Structures are given as C-alpha cells and as structure tokens.
Structure 1
Amino acid sequence: MLTPGLGAALAEWLSHLRALGGASENTIEAYRADVSSFLGFMQTHHGEGFGIARLATLGQSDMRAWMAHERGRGLSARSLARALSSVKSFSRWMADREGFDASHVLMARAPKYQRKLPRPLSEDGARAMIDQVDTQAAEPWVAARDAAVLTLLYGGGLRISEALGLTGDLHPLPDVLRIRGKGDKERLVPVLPVTRDAVAEYVRLCPYPAEPGQPLFRGKRGGALNPRLVSRAMEQARTALGLPATATPHAMRHSFATHLLAAGGDLRAIQELLGHASLATTQIYTAVDAARLMDVYDKAHPRA
C-alpha cells in the first residue's frame, strides 16, 4: 500500500499522461503497474516511512537492489527494461515538480536483451494464406469475410483490432483509410484495388447489411467479429499449408512491412503507414530483411 502522498503523485502523473493524449489506456495501466511495483519495493526496502521526500534521495544501490529483486522474481530483461523506462519517466516528472535531482534514477542502465525479430510470411506464403481462408469455411460469406480481413492486414499493414474496428459506412472502401491506432495516433493508409474488391465481395455475400456505425466485419450472429475467430481461421489454414505457428494475424502486418521494404520502400514512409511513433521500431524490419538475405546466401553457398 503506497503512502497517500506517493499514491496521489502517481495518480496525478497518470492523469498527466492521459491529458497528453499520446498513450493508450493499456499503456497507462502498464505504467501504473510498473511504477506501483517500484514504489512498493522502495517502501519495503526503506521502511513504511518512504514517501516523496525519500524519493529524492534514491541512489544507484537502491536501483540495483530493485532491479535484482525484479530479476529474482522472474522478470525478463525485456520486461525490466520497460519497467525501468516507466520509473524513469515518473521520476523525471516528479523531479521537475518537486525540484530535486533524479540523476541516480535516470542514470540506471537497462539490462541488455536480444530483441525478437518479427516473423513475416514469404510473399507466396501470405498469398497462399489468403487463398486458403477464402475456401475453407462452409459458408461462402464467412470465407469471403476471413479473406477480406487478411487482405486488409497484408495489403494495408493494419493491426487486427484496426481492421475489425472499421464500420459499415466505410463501404465501399475509399482510396485512403483514416486509421486511429495505438495511443489514438491517426494515420492514412492507401487502399489497394485488391483490398477494395475483397471487402466488396464479402459485403455482397454477407447476410447483414453494411450500416453506418455498425461493425463492417460481422460474426455469424451479426455482432462484431471476434479476433479469435480470425486467428482460428489462420490456424486451420497454416496447418493445411504447412506453415509455422508464427503465421498469425499480426504476421500479416509484419509481412506487409517486410515485403514493402524489400521492394525498395522508404523506411520513413513505412513508419507512417504502420503508425509507429518511433523510427527505431520500424528499423527492426531492416534486420529482418538482412536476416532473410543471409539465409538465402547460406543456402546458395553452403559451408563445407
């Protein structure tokens, strides 16, 4: 249980982040959990009297003790790096508000970790996935629906939540979609003719009309399509095609970015299309492309 002063400060900081409008509610909750855990540890570490005044006195040994505690309870290096980022953000804000030096907290070094590379499908694999889901459902409109969703993910780099968040008033799809993604960040996504055609075919077959304000993609009972059903369709398709378990809805978005980069797409433009806040997030696809090229090279020039 945090002291009233720390609890109030944490709540005020989170309200400040909401007011800036750059963080989703899930991100806000992650910040809350990270900083609450950090402050809770410091209260135990220093005693129940730990409050705002003691926050200004934290040193490097305190940060090392907290990080060792987090690793000891099984937190991964990646998760600890994220938690440390949250703590630094909160500490920086508190230092500005209270007028103290937070250097020891801000200088704490995050543990190194190997960032996992996205696992895109090959171009043939992505097309085969769409073709497969277009034939496997018993009801033609359901098969057309699943194919239309995957075409949106692969043709526009949408997240599954973004695709399923589209409403009926967008039919027929315009030349450019205005997508509101993570952190309420808005971006413009061009619509390919093949994508427009796939959605139009689904709407033609769907027993539920495309109505303004209603979900464009419907479940069998007419409600909003559950993303789990799209995942299940892909599970069935990848089994039939012999594709790996990494062939998920999000892999279609990864495939969009990787194939666009391989075709000579500009990294900054791809960042805008994906809605990434930081170019560093998009740059991971350059590593994917390099890894793919090395794989091709190794197969062409096997070592003795």
Structure 2
Amino acid sequence: MYPSTPQVLLTAYATHLRATGAAPRTIRLRLLHATAITQLAPSLELITTGDLEAWMHPAHRHYSAETMKSRRSSARRFFTWLHENGHVAADVASRLYPVHVIPAPPRVIPDTDMRLALGHVTTRDRAAILLARYACLRLTEIATLRTTDRTGDALRVTGKGGRIRIVYMHPDLRHALDALEQQLDDPRGWYFPGLGTASHMHPDSMHKIIKRVTGWNPHALRHAGATAAYRATKDLRAVQLMLGHASLATTQRYLSLDEEALRAVATGVALAA
C-alpha cells in the first residue's frame, strides 16, 4: 500500500538504504535523487519512463554523462525498491537505457607544481596534500582519518562502501603525520578536526584547502600518485589495492601514460632475438 505521504515513503527508503550498508554519502545522494523523483508527478504511479529520462537530462541545462549515469542508477534502485514493496504497479525505471560514458583522460598534477606547493605550506596542509599524492586517498578518506588508524608506516583506510584497506606510507608522508600529531589537541582523535565541532573536517573543506594550496583538483593528486606508483612497480593489482578500487578496469583508467611509455610499448613488440 502506498504510504500517506512521500515523506513517509522516503523515510522508509532511507531505512532500507542503511540496512544495505550503503555509505552515508551514498545514502545522501540516493535520497536527494529519490526526493526529486517523488516531485515529478502528483503520484508515483503517474511517473513514466519519459519523465525519468527528462529528469536525467533536462532540456534547460547540461549534465555530464557521469551525472546522468548516477541519476539513472538512483532511479533504477528507487523504483526497484518501490516495486518490490508494492508501492508501484510497474517498475518504469527498468526501461531506462544505459548511459554511455566516455572516460576522459586523467589529469595529473606535475611534480613541479607539487614541489612548489610544498615549499610554503602549514603542517596540516602538508599532511593533507601528501595523503592525497603519496597515499592516493580520496577526500572523504583524508578528512575522516584518525590517529588510531595509523600503525607505524601503515594506515587503515575506510573507503567507499565501508571497505577497509591497508595503505603503506612513503617516508615523507610518515614525517608529515608525525609533525601533525605533535600539534593535535587529541592524540587519539581526528587528524583533521572540524572547526568548533567534535567531528572531523568536512570533505568539501578539505577539497578547498588542497585546491587552494596546489591549484589543482585534489583528484589530480590521486591520479598522479597512482600513475607514479604504476610506473615504479608495473604492478597494476598492487596499485588497485592501494587505491581501493573494486575493479581493475577503474584503476587502468586512472593511469596517465606519457609518450615515453607509449613508445616503450611500440619497441616492446619486436620479435625475440
């Protein structure tokens, strides 16, 4: 039976998402999308596949393929839940066509820009930058890192979907965290506490800090670290584990191979002597 109000339904859907173990950030995005979908028509039963397609790619604004793919995923998941629980008679989202995403070449921060950024930087900002470049951590992983997540030269990182991985640190990163720990009020708390709160810094604030100091999107540091790690080891699987990717294909798209590497491939096809 359809709940009395969309808010009751969304509350039930939020409970479902939490029960699946979805990450808080994923839950917020799914609920944001689900809320928008409930506003497409007076009743969910009146929503059509065409309505969802128009929401995925509205005529009055441009969305990237990645955004449309995310919206499609949210719509399909929401309507699957609605249909399975008897809130709608038909799953109209199941007829949404896949969104074709052409991966853009990864942007990597040059080493010269990294050295320049590290030349005049605070202890806190140095640690954040090196966690992005040397440990290849995501913004949320950096912002939510605790001192108790460190054991010697190893970091216990909680990634997407709550997956845990171990990342070993470069000596420069170890020294940066050593210096930061000396400045923390709580030796067993967050490496990057939020201002005026008992929680950690918001990932958006971390994004602003890294971009302000380096001039680059923080993800460019993660791409650069992954590329450097692969060039040094040629071990794609090890790089995948460091990045916390579920798919090896995702790791492959992260790598920025330069002309020298491509020329080496051309040379390597020669017949054996």
Q: Which TM-score tier does this pair reach, normalised by the shorter chain?
A: 0.7 to 0.9
Evaluate the alpha carbon distance shift between residue 220 and residue 65 of structure 1 in structure 2; reply closer, same or farther with a 3 A threshold: closer
In the alignment, the residues of structure 2 paired with residue 209 and residue 66 of structure 1 have an alpha-carbon distance, to the nearest angstrom, of 48
In the alignment, the residues of structure 2 paired with residue 12 and residue 255 of structure 1 have an alpha-carbon distance, to the nearest angstrom, of 42
Alignment-derived partner of residue 26 in structure 2:
27
Write the letter of the residue equivalent to 2:52.
W
Q: Kindly provide the CA deviation profile for residues 139-192 of structure 1, in whole angstroms up to 9, marking residues without a partner as x.
A: xxx2x4433332222221112443343344567x62321012333332211122
Q: Kindly provide the CA deviation profile for residues 21-74 of structure 1, in whole angstroms up to 9, marking residues without a partner as x.
A: 2222x3222212222322321x2xxxx3x34xx37xx7xxx3134323542131
**Match for residue 187 of structure 2 among 208, 212, 235:** 212
Evaluate the alpha carbon distance shift between residue 94 and residue 3 of structure 1 in structure 2; reply closer, same or farther with a 3 A threshold: closer
Write the letter of the residue equivalent to 2:209.
L
Alignment-derived partner of residue 137 in structure 2:
158
**Match for residue 253 of structure 1 among 222, 230, 250:** 222
Larger Rg computed on CA atoms: 1
Write the letter of the residue equivalent to 2:15.
S
Alignment-derived partner of residue 112 in structure 1:
100
Alignment-derived partner of residue 166 in structure 2:
188
| Aligned residues of 2:133 and 2:224 also touching (Cα < 8 A) | yes
Structure 1 alignment gaps of length 5 or more:
236-246, 298-304
Going by fraction, where is helix more abundant, 1 or 2? Answer: 1
Evaluate the alpha carbon distance shift between residue 64 and residue 218 of structure 1 in structure 2; reply closer, same or farther with a 3 A threshold: closer
| Aligned residues of 1:131 and 1:147 also touching (Cα < 8 A) | no
Which secondary structure state, in structure 2, belongs to the residue aligned with residue 4 of structure 1?
A: coil
Structure 2 alignment gaps of length 5 or more:
264-273
- TM-aligned CA deviation for residue 109 of structure 1: 0.5
Write the letter of the residue equivalent to 1:214.
G
Which secondary structure state, in structure 2, belongs to the residue aligned with residue 153 of structure 1?
A: helix
In the alignment, the residues of structure 1 paired with residue 218 and residue 155 of structure 2 have an alpha-carbon distance, to the nearest angstrom, of 19
The alignment's C-alpha RMSD in Å is: 3.7
Alignment-derived partner of residue 149 in structure 1:
128
Which secondary structure state, in structure 1, belongs to the residue aligned with residue 58 of structure 2?
A: helix
In the alignment, the residues of structure 1 paired with residue 219 and residue 133 of structure 2 have an alpha-carbon distance, to the nearest angstrom, of 9
Alignment-derived partner of residue 81 in structure 2:
93
| Aligned residues of 1:167 and 1:212 also touching (Cα < 8 A) | no
Alignment-derived partner of residue 132 in structure 1:
116
Evaluate the alpha carbon distance shift between residue 197 and residue 210 of structure 1 in structure 2; reply closer, same or farther with a 3 A threshold: farther
Report whether the alignment pairs 1:64 with 2:64.
no
Evaluate the alpha carbon distance shift between residue 218 and residue 77 of structure 1 in structure 2; reply closer, same or farther with a 3 A threshold: closer
TM-score (norm 2): 0.74
Q: Kindly provide the CA deviation profile for residues 110-141 of structure 1, in whole angstroms up to 9, marking residues without a partner as x.
A: 3434333331134xx1xx3443233324xxxx
